[in-house]
Structure 1
Amino acid sequence: MKKFDKERVLLAIAAPVLAIVAAFLITALVLAATGKEPFSAFGIMFDYGVKSDSQVYIINKATTYYLAGIAVAIGFRMNLFNIGVDGQYRLAAFFAAAVGGALTLPGIIQIPLIIVTAMIVGAMWAGVAGLLKTTRGVSEVVSTIMLNFIATAIIGYLLQPGRLGHLDAAGTKVATTPLPESSHFFEFPTTPTPIYGFVVVAAIAGIGYWFTLSRTRFGFDLRTVGQSETAASASGVNVKKMVVTSMLISGGMAGLIGMPTLLNDSYEFGGDFPVGIGFTGIAIALLGRNHPIGIALAAILWAFLERGGQQLEFENYDREIVGVMQGVIVLCVVIAYEVVRRYGVKRQQRQVGEKLAAQARSNDTTEVSA
């Protein structure tokens, strides 16, 4: 590996490491200010987080968070802020659950049908924002946020008895028709709870994301548009088409977010279906710097913090401290990336200056010798 490449890798690693260290230090100060022992809290979180059952929980949670991070990162690489991932995955999971509950087919047909339904719904919902941006100039930030509320309203309207919702036997919960057993995704048997088999799909999605962006013409065009729409347009790239396509892909990936919960856990969509994961994906994509490996590490860290925070409640700590830590991490990430970027630019400028000075001295020596 060349020296330049080594420096680039070190700079890429330095930003998230600096952010995490700074976040823990700030959190320690917050804990100390409230009269709590910070290092004891961190020890409790670590001890609880490394237990076998906690490891299973972290992997399962990280699977969902990873898919959310990838969905957001696709937009980020295009310089698009798909804030609507949350609405896209919930609407996708709802219709996928409704379709799956209405059919009883062999698993080899039923499961792909549910997954494809979710991806199509997510892509179509994100595509609305893409079309509004390219045809009417509506910012994707505004449109996707509004589409989140519309998605919630649609789910609330349809998830009622007599429509696509059904009241359970106890009369206390409204949800879609439970999926037949043929729709249950495979699991890895572990104790006390299994690892979701959807972790394999998440890994495949990450590989596909990396391959598409790094090894295909489409990925090159996508990154080019994200860096400069003017330059991309001048080189023959259809910017509007890339915007819509990227939103469709981001939404399709968002459709996968709810599948680990639907196919490996709840087997139905009800009022208790997880919410807010799309916004968590934004933080994870930022922390992972839109790289598939970085996003995976960020998803694991996020899940670890949540798991450790559960134990803090039993040790007379405020569980909200985990939210503080996560929020501080996001802020530190933004600051750390900018600090490292500026340092990298100055270092490159200094190296270029040194090379030019050395070349000038060499030319002067040659002229004197002549």
Structure 2
Amino acid sequence: MTDQRLKRLGLAIAAPVLALFAAFLITSLVLAIAGDSVTGVWGQILSLPEARGMTNIVNSATVYYLSGVAVAIGFRMNLFNIGVDGQYRVASFVAAVVAGEAFLPGYLNTILALVAAMAVGALWAGIAGLLRVTRGVSEVISTIMLNSIATALVAYLLRKAAVDNPGSNITATKPVPEGSRIPGFTLFPGAPNEVYGFLFLAFGVGVAYWVVINKTRFGFDLRATGLSESAAVASGIRVKKMIFISMLLSGAVAGLVGMPILLGEAYAYGSTFQSGLGFAGIAIALLGRNHPIGIAFGALLFAYLDEQSNPLQILQNVSPDIVRITQGTIVLTVVIAYEVVRRYGVRLEQRQVAAALGAGPEGRGAGGDRKEVAS
């Protein structure tokens, strides 16, 4: 039993390692063709970041992690929620407006903003879920369209809700009161910046995700429906209800994606609020195989690559977009690597079963004949 677990662990590790190695080779080939220094670029990317950079990596990974979990909820249901980017934008804007109005004192106002963000994110994702279960509209198409609508809607509403900000060209909402902000903390000695206090809430989201998916009846029904919708129907699971609830949950977590930035750094939603976080979550969920620990490693990897790409233009005269090539290559190679490893694992299990039945590779056909006769 121990050997089987070790083999499974080895196969699970082999896929991402293979994908990273392939991404390394492909990126190196691109650099060589472009005439850039392969060793110089990788020397910079693989160097140890300073304390400030380490803090930036943890902060970015916190945001990426929430995005990855939001996408993973849909993936476990065999749903492709491509709309996390739009969902967190709408949710962040509403949360900023709610927090800026300070309807409640102190951290009660913070909780209200978080609830508002989750509710709006769930509502925006629920539109795609409702279209899927009532009209059969693919969630891929509807969520992509909702992303565009969300961008335009937030831009329009931002001009209505913006307040005067003397000396700045940034259009932004009212600032979050100081008593409602989530304070950071110093994790790396000597760092001039702080790690988001939201890190602990993100950790809680990961734990809740694992418990719900693996330890509850709802999680079992969700996974069963994702594996085989017809089998789920035959076992009495209300598939349409599961699809709709899964989209709501995915959207609710997506609503939290912008909260570390809003409540821990920016303190307002403005025209410069970070975008593109939802699309990164898709890659991170794929890389992490929808597992909370795997998603954490994927988030740290993407955050690390982002941080290390910043000085490439200055130190190596190479565009930091080379890191985008690396990240995109990781996404493509990880899908191929997981399929290769999966097929190898299936063959390995077939050999083990054949050996347990007393039939070697050459006698597999004879073993099959004996099984048919016995049946």
- The alignment's TM-score, normalised by the length of structure 1, stands at 0.94
**Contact 2:170 2:272 (C-alpha < 8 Å) held by counterparts:** no
For 1:50 and 1:272, the matched residues in 2 are separated by: 26
Residue of structure 2 in register with 1:42 after alignment: 42
Cα distance in 1 for partners of 2:170, 2:296 equals 34
1:73 aligns with 2:72: yes
Kept after mapping to 1: 8 A contact 2:225/2:239? yes
Q: What are the residue-to-residue correspondences of 1:131-150 with 2, within 5 Å? A: 131-150=130-149
> Which residue type is aligned with residue 3 of structure 1?
D
Q: Secondary structure at the match of 1:90?
A: helix
- 2:314 aligns with 314
Tell me the CA shift for residue 104 of structure 1: 5.3
Q: Give yes or no for contact 2:49–2:308 (8 Å, CA) kept in 1.
A: no
Percentage identity across paired residues of the two chains: 55
Deviations along 1:20-42, whole A, 9 cap, x unmatched? 01111111111122222212211
Cα distance in 1 for partners of 2:250, 2:142 equals 15
Distance in 2 (alpha carbons) for counterparts of 1:235 and 1:112: 39
Query: Which range moves more in the overlay, 182-191 or 319-328?
Result: 182-191
Structure-2 residue corresponding to 1:286: 286
Q: Which residue of 1 aligns with 2:301?
A: 301
Counterpart-to-counterpart distance in 1, 2:299 and 2:305 = 10
Q: Would the aligned equivalents of 1:45 and 1:311 in 2 still touch at CA under 8 Å?
A: no
Within 5 Å, which residues of 2 pair with 1:1-370?
2-47=2-47, 49-103=48-102, 105-160=104-159, 163-170=160-167, 172-189=169-186, 191-315=191-315, 316-358=317-359
5+ long unaligned stretches in structure 1:
363-370
Describe the superposition over 1:37-89 as per-residue Cα deviations: whole angstroms up to 9, x where unpaired. 21221111222x43211110000000000000000000000000000000000
What's the offset of the Cα at 1:105? 3.2
Residues in 2 aligned to 1:131 and 1:224: alpha-carbon distance in whole angstroms: 21
In structure 2, give the amino acid aligned to 1:249. Answer: L
3-state SS, counterpart of residue 41 of structure 2: helix
Please report how far the alpha carbon of residue 346 of structure 1 lies from its aligned counterpart in structure 2 after TM superposition.
1.3
Which residue is 1:368 aligned to? none
Partner-residue secondary structure (3-state), 2:55: helix
Instruction: Give 1:167 deviation, angstroms.
Output: 3.2
User: What is the aligned length?
Assistant: 359
Q: Distance in 2 between matches of 1:308 and 1:332?
A: 21
The amino acid that maps onto 1:174 is T
Instruction: Report if the CA contact (8 A) 2:73-2:250 is conserved.
Output: yes
1: CA distance, partners of 2:154 / 2:29: 42
- The runs of 4+ residues in structure 1 deviating greater than 6 Å are 359-362
Task: Describe the superposition over 1:204-245 as per-residue Cα deviations: whole angstroms up to 9, x where unpaired.
Answer: 100111111111111100000000011111111111110010
Please identify, of 210-219 and 27-36, the stretch whose mean Cα deviation from structure 2 is larger: 27-36
Q: CA deviation at 1:358?
A: 4.2
CA distance in 2, matches of 1:130, 1:324: 32
Q: What stretches of structure 2 of length at least 5 have no aligned partner? A: 368-375
SS in structure 2 at match of 1:221: helix
Instruction: Give the RMSD, CA atoms, in angstroms.
Output: 1.6
Per-residue CA deviation, residues 300-344 of structure 1 (Å, 9 max, x unaligned), is 000110111012111112211111111111111011011111111
| 2:236 partner SS | coil
Query: Match of 2:371?
Result: none
Amino acid at match of 1:188: F
Task: Flag the 1:358–1:171 CA change in 2: closer, same or farther, 3 A.
Answer: closer
Q: Spell out, residue by residue over 1:147-183, the C-alpha distance to the aligned partner (whole angstroms, 9 max, x if none).
A: 11111121111111xx212231126221111111112
Q: TM-score, normalised by structure 2?
A: 0.93
